[in-house]
Amino acid sequence: MSDAPAPNLGSLRERIEAIDRQIIALLAERLHIVEDVAEAKLAAASPFRDRVREDLLLERLRGEATAAGLDPHEIERLYRVVMDMSVAHQEAAVRRRDDVPLRVTYQGVEGSYSHLAAQRSYAGRGGGVLLTGADTFRAAAEAVVHGAADLALLPIENTTAGSINETYDLLAEGHLTITGEVVSAIEHCLLAIPGTRLEELRVVMSHPQALAQCQAFFAAQPHLRPQVEIDTAGSARKVRELGDPTFAAIASSSAATTYGLAVVARGIQTERGNATRFVEVALRPAPLPEGATAKTSLVLSLSDRPGALGEILVRFGARNISLTKLESRPIPSAPFSYRFYIDALGHAASEPFQAALAEIKPLTTELRVLGTYSADGSFR
C-alpha cells in the first residue's frame, strides 16, 4: 500500500484552469495570425478556404495526436471547429476593412422593400457596399453560393401575411448559414400614373406577399383586381412603362419617387404595425458582436414516434431555452411529411443548447443548425 498522499482535487482543478487559460490565449493568438493570413490571401487573390491544405493539416494532426496518446478522431473533430472559426474570422476581418466593399444581393429592383432594408442595414459601412438586385429569391441565394456575393438579405416572415416559404425551402437545402436578422417596418402605398384617381384604377400589380398584406384594402375596393408580379418595385416600374391609367402597383413611396409615379393611397396594409423580418445569409457563420443577444435557427424532421414534437419542446423548456418560432413545411420528396423550423434564444455552442440538441437528436431523422446570429431586439 502506497504512503503517497492522495492528490489534492482543488490543486488539480487549478492546474486544469491554468491550462485552459493558456489554450484560450493561444487560440486568440492563432486568430490574430489568421487576420494577417487574410491580408496575404487578399494580396495574392487566393481563396479563404484551401481544402487540400486543410486535409494535409488534419492528416498531420491525427498523426501527432496518435503519438501523444490522444484519440485522432476527436482531435480532428476539434480542429475542424478551429478551422471553421479561422475562416469566419478571416471573412469578418475583411468585412471590417475600409477598402473592400461588401457585396450584398437581394430579391427585387431599386426601391423594393428588400433593397430599402439592405440600404438601411449596411449604410455607412467602411469600405462601402455593392448592392445587387436579383430576379428571384433563389437567384439571390445562388449568388452567395457561387461566390458572386458575400451576403444575401432574404425576407423570411411578415407580421401580417406570415412566413415566406421559399426562403425556408432555400435554407433547408443546406448551402447557406444565417448570420443576422433585420426587422423592417413596411408601409404599402398604391402607386399610379400621376393624375390618376382611385376610382379609375382596375388592376393592381405587386408581389404576392404585398397583395396578401393588403387584403382588407381589396375587400373595400371590389373594382380592383390584384395581379401577381415578381416584385413590388418592379411592378411600379411596369406601371410606368405601360403608361395605362387603369393600372397601379403596391410598393413603397420610395419606388414612387424612383419611377415617377404618384401615391394614390398610403398605408394600405391591413395591419398598421406591418413589419417584415429579413435574414442575412452567407456561406459560413460569422462571429457575434460582443454583448449581442444570440438567436439560433434549427431545422429538423421528426422520427416516426407519437408525441415526438411535444417531447422536443419539453426538452428545450427543461433547459430554459425560449423558443420564438415554430414553423412546419412539407418535404417535397416525402409526401405528407414535414420539416420543422425552430428559432430559439441562445447560442448553439452553449452548454444548455448542446445538451438540448443531444437529447432531441434521437427524436429526429434530420437535425441541423441553420445559424446562430445577433437577434434584432425590435422583433422579440
Q: How far apart are CA 2 and CA 255, in angstroms?
A: 85
Grid cell at residue 213: 398584406
Catalytic residue among 278, 316, 340, 353: 278
Comparing C-alpha atoms, which of 298, 295, 279, 321 is closest to residue 375?
295
Helices (H) and strands (E) in the chain, counts: 12, 15
* Beta-ladder partners of 93: none
Residue 217 falls in the annotated catalytic set: no
DSSP class of 249:
E
One-letter amino acid for residue 286 of the chain? A
Residue 324 falls in the annotated catalytic set: no
3-state secondary structure of 32: helix
137 neighbors 260 (Cβ within 8 angstroms): no
294 neighbors 374 (Cβ within 8 angstroms): yes
Q: Which residue has the cell 501527432?
A: 64
Q: How far apart are CA 193 and CA 240, in angstroms?
A: 7
181 neighbors 376 (Cβ within 8 angstroms): yes
Phi, psi of 60 (to 5 degrees): -65, -45
Catalytic residue among 167, 196, 276, 364: 276
One-letter amino acid for residue 95 of the chain? R
What residues act catalytically? Answer: 276, 278
